[in-house]
Homo-oligomer: A and B are copies of this chain.
Amino acid sequence: MLIWLILGLGALSLLVAFMYSRMVSSVSIEKGAESPQEVAKLTEISDAIAEGAMAFLKREYRILALFMVIFAVIIALTVNDPHTSIATGLYSAVSFMIGAGISVAAGYIGMKIATKGNVRTAAAARISLAESFGIAFKSGVVMGFGLTGLAILGMLFVYMGLDMLLPGIETHILMEILSGFALGGSSVALFARVGGGIYTKAADVGADLVGKVEAGIPEDDPRNPAVIADNVGDNVGDIAGMGADLFGSVAESTCAAMVIGAAAFTLLPAETRLSALLFPLFVSGIGIIASLISLFFIRPKTEEKVEGALKTALVLSTLLMLVGLYYPTMKMIPESFMIGTKEYHNSGVFICLAAGLISGLIIGLITEYFTSHRFKPVQEVADASKTGAATNIIYGLSLGYNSSVLPMLLMAITVVIGFSFAGMYGIAMAAIGMLGTIAVGLTIDAYGPVSDNAGGIAEMAGMGKDIRKRTDALDAAGNTTAAIGKGFAIGSAALTSLALTAAFLTRANLPEINMLNPEVMAGLFVGASLPFAFSAMTMRAVGKAAFEMIEEVRRQFRTIPGLLQGTARADYATCVDISTKASLRQMVAPGILVIASPLVVGFLFGVQMLAGMLIGALIVGVMLAISMANSGGAWDNAKKYIETGKLGGKGSDTHKAAVVGDTVGDPFKDTSGPALNILIKLMAIISLVFVPFFMNHGGWLTKMMK
């Protein structure tokens, strides 16, 4: 019964995505365009972007496939639970491959629709703002609901498949195998977020530094050879990267809850136990309904109302979730249950879910306060640009540092609530609560890059200033909601990572981690250093890849006669190719750091140090990620604030100083900051999946030395 219900909700989500996808595809470009020439031009540009995006995906997937196979073999060989005769390693490896496969599919769908939606959004901007907004927004819906539906159904099918293939399997072992699914999703996210993040910013920074600064041509100018790569980057980083990241979060938090639940609910009667176990999936299902209802309230009539409408939907879906969750929680979670020696209640579980939901929303609003130029912080950064780039940077960095404090305190409160009301299970519930409104959240997130791309396409196709103004209005709203989305993604990544760590500890039978144990303390130190190492790598990666791009753009300006005069066509494909190759090459080192750290520390020093490392990386990673994302967002919007004519407007020295901040902010907010989500989650899920290995062979060096 319950399984059918979840199945139905997951299918509903996919159905919504499918319907919206049809709606977007059915809009013809001709409808909006002025002339057949414009249609041709629009099609040409959007085809180039779509081709570039798919070319990147293809190359990325090839490397990904190789990586997945190797990693699957490692899992199959090492993750064997000694307490059972089932080949858990093999099953985990298969579960891993399925998770990865579904995540890839979700990313592919998102990219497909985004590259269809962008050109249609641009064309429709000729008709009206509402029309144009509608298409961008619908493209977002496809991403939001499609991904959520795939995540729910994927996990459910793996669960059901295992239950059928291995009748009588112990629940906790089943859940362990299911964790492989989450690891698969998260591994894809590593490629999508880190590789995509490097891609998008290498192209962006490269295009800006040569185009805007050296050649003096505006953004998105078709004469700039890197312009297509830049637009491809929006899709690659902001659509596929963000999607894979949040797909991972949903899968991981659900798995964490189920692993802990399997231990907590062992003693319940079979029927009750199943509903308690599958409860996390059901929460996501309710989220789909709440998100769906709030969709219908997003109908902005004027430019000013776009941002408000999107925010209303977020708030509304949170409220609907709160109301909708109460009854199911009280019904599906037993009135009282034990974790360790402590007794908890279903009402407590509801409080944990609510804490996650509410704090997610507040974190989003705090992020908005610090990154929107309607508020004081960003205006101060803009103001500081009057005395040059240096003060702009100082104020922007300090804004980022400052902006990460409240979200962290909020998370501390959420953690205390989660722990107090439902122990480790409560942490997982808080994470699931925070991710409850993911369908609408992702919709809004994906809407942004589509509008951004639409603006780029309108510019490149020479559709004129009025059209560009409309797409800019859509894009501006998308920028703010993107910042909210980033704050939310980091917050949920933190709780997810903590939930995974809790699940890891549950499985490793560690009821306590004494910080005064030297191994734990050393783990904390090592963990604290990882986000810094990782950020350094990703920032340098963007720098290096951008340099390659700069060289190429300069070469084209130098060697293609008539390019700057607009009489010759730039060689876009080579730039796309450079971004693709450079980003995939540059992501190897940070990728290895993420994957190897937990494996090496767990193997050499054991689970105590590994636990310390996960917590150390978590707290440092969250602070760094929030501050980077918000510094970046603030710099971007401080520049935009000046471009509205304030403080001297475009072209003034103040504006030039703000552009420096904006460029520094690019890798901050779109590469290094978001990539830290992957660092903290992926290390935790690897630790969880490899528990059997660590239990058998972990702490090799420590044992040797004793």
Q: Which residues of A contact B (CB under 8 A)?
A: 205, 209, 213, 384, 387-391, 393-395, 397-399, 401-402, 404-405, 408-409, 411-413, 415-416, 418-420, 424, 502, 505, 511-522, 524-529, 532-533, 535-537, 539-540, 542-543, 546-547, 550, 611-612, 615-616, 619-620, 622-623, 627, 659-660, 663-664, 667
Contacts and interface: CB of A to CB of B under 8 A. Distances in A.
Contact of A405 (B209, B532, B543): B532
Contacts of A505: 516
Contacts of A542: 394
A419, A536, A627, A659 pick with most chain B CB within 10 angstroms: A536
Contacts of A409: 525-526, 529
Given A411-B525, A660-B388, A511 B516 contact: yes
B419 A521 contact: yes
A47 to B, nearest CB: 31
A390, A415, A616 pick with most chain B CB within 10 angstroms: A390
A543 B401 contact: no
Given A409-B525, A415-B525, 12 more contacts: A213-B388, A388-B663, A391-B546, A391-B663, A393-B393, A408-B526, A408-B532, A409-B526, A512-B516, A513-B514, A515-B515, A660-B660
Given A525-B409, A542-B394, A401 B518 contact: no
Contacts of A622: 528
Contacts of A412: 521-522, 525-526, 529
Given A401-B535, A529-B408, A533-B402, A419 B623 contact: no
Contacts of A209: 387-388, 390-391
Contacts of A667: 394
A532 B213 CA distance: 33
16 contacts: A205-B390, A395-B539, A401-B535, A405-B533, A405-B536, A408-B528, A408-B532, A409-B525, A415-B522, A515-B520, A524-B615, A524-B619, A528-B620, A528-B622, A532-B623, A620-B620
Contacts of A404: 529, 532
Contacts of A502: 516
A515 B393 CA distance: 36
Nearest to A621: B528
Contacts of A394: 539, 542-543, 663-664, 667
B408 A536 contact: no
A518 B416 contact: yes
Give the dominant DSSP class at A's interface.
Answer: helix
Contacts of A384: 543
B402 A623 contact: no
Nearest to A663: B390
B514 A398 contact: no
B663 A528 contact: no
Contact of A395 (B540, B627, B659): B540
Contacts of A539: 394-395, 397-398, 401
A539 B452 CA distance: 33
A516, A623, A667 pick with most chain B CB within 10 angstroms: A516
A388 B616 CA distance: 35
Contact of A391 (B543, B612, B615): B543
Nearest to A391: B543
A518 B390 contact: no
A120 to B, nearest CB: 34
B388 A532 contact: no
A535 B416 contact: no
A505 B514 CA distance: 13
A634 to B, nearest CB: 12
Contact of A532 (B402, B424, B546): B402
A517 B401 CA distance: 27
B540 A398 contact: yes
A456 B536 CA distance: 35
Contacts of A550: 387
A536 B402 CA distance: 5
A521 B398 contact: no
A538 to B, nearest CB: 8
A367 B515 CA distance: 28
A627 to B, nearest CB: 6
- Which 6 pairs across A and B sit closest by C-beta, in order of nearness? A419-B518, A390-B663, A412-B525, A402-B536, A401-B536, A528-B619
Contacts of A402: 532-533, 536-537, 540
A547 B387 contact: yes
A401 B532 contact: yes
A543 B398 contact: yes
Contact of A619 (B525, B546, B547, B627): B525
Contacts of A390: 205, 209, 659-660, 663-664
A256 to B, nearest CB: 15
A526 B405 CA distance: 8
A61 B510 CA distance: 52
Contacts of A387: 209, 547, 550
A602 to B, nearest CB: 16
Contacts of A664: 390, 393-394, 397
Nearest to A546: B391
Contacts of A611: 515
A600 to B, nearest CB: 13
A601 to B, nearest CB: 11
Given A420-B518, A515-B615, A401 B533 contact: yes
A45 B521 CA distance: 52
Contacts of A536: 398-399, 401-402, 405
Contacts of A527: 619
B393 A660 contact: yes
Contacts of A627: 532
A507 B536 CA distance: 40
A402 B622 CA distance: 18
A399 B388 CA distance: 23
A540 B659 CA distance: 20
A528 B620 CA distance: 7
A502 B543 CA distance: 42
Nearest to A620: B620
A389 B389 contact: yes
A264 to B, nearest CB: 15
